[in-house]
Amino acid sequence: MDTVTLQEIKESIRTIPDYPKPGVQFRDITTLLGNARTFRRVIDELVEPWSVAKVDRVAGIEARGFILGGAVAHQLAAGFVPIRKKGKLPHTTVRVAYSLEYGLDEMEMHEDAVSRGERIILVDDLIATGGTAEAAVKLLRRLGVEILGACFVIDLPELGGSKKLTDLGVPVRTLVSFEGH
Ligand code: AMP
């Protein structure tokens, strides 16, 4: 496969203006995922800092973090753990509340999904304010794991999420960034 540049990855992401509400530029990665070359390159790039590290599990945030996280876990020969919206997981869970732009939401993991001391990577498609990823970090730390890093295809740096995670002591890897929301 020939080399796909980060610019090509950026161009493979479709922007939908005013979705799901006016003023939001929705960064749609379905166009990236549907292209074999860009999908493969994105996974290769996301795992790069940990390609020779021992990683026990990859935690993916619902829902696009499942697609990317599953592929990242396979690449690193690690297990995959879903972090889901409340009420979706069938076994005993641990839960954390986090703020959205309007109001609160909660996310959950199975309490036995990870073991104390395991080395984990967190995955989602995009980091904006960092509220979602911060909640996932809290949940994972409550279960006593070591978070080696968090990776995202897209950064919206003006919203400060990457800095928020770095300040929490979590190394952040992002591949492309867009201005604004
Ligand atoms: P935040 O908690 O503000 O960092 O938001 C990150 C979560 O919201 C991720 O799960 C993203 O998939 C989603 N998200 C936030 N802003 C956008 C956007 N402009 N385009 C696509 N997804 C977004």
Please count the other Cβ atoms lying within 10 Å of the Cβ belonging to residue 172: 20
Please say if 64 is a catalytic residue. Answer: yes
Q: Ligand 1: which of 31, 33, 64, 126 to mutate, most ligand atoms within 8 Å of CB?
A: 126
Domains assigned to the chain: 53-177 (3.40.50.2020)
pLDDT along the chain (181 residues), means of 10: 87 97 96 98 98 97 98 98 98 95 91 98 98 98 98 97 98 97 81
Could you identify the atom of ligand 1 that is nearest to the CA of residue 134? 2
Please count the other Cβ atoms lying within 10 Å of the Cβ belonging to residue 122: 26
pTM above 0.75, yes or no: yes
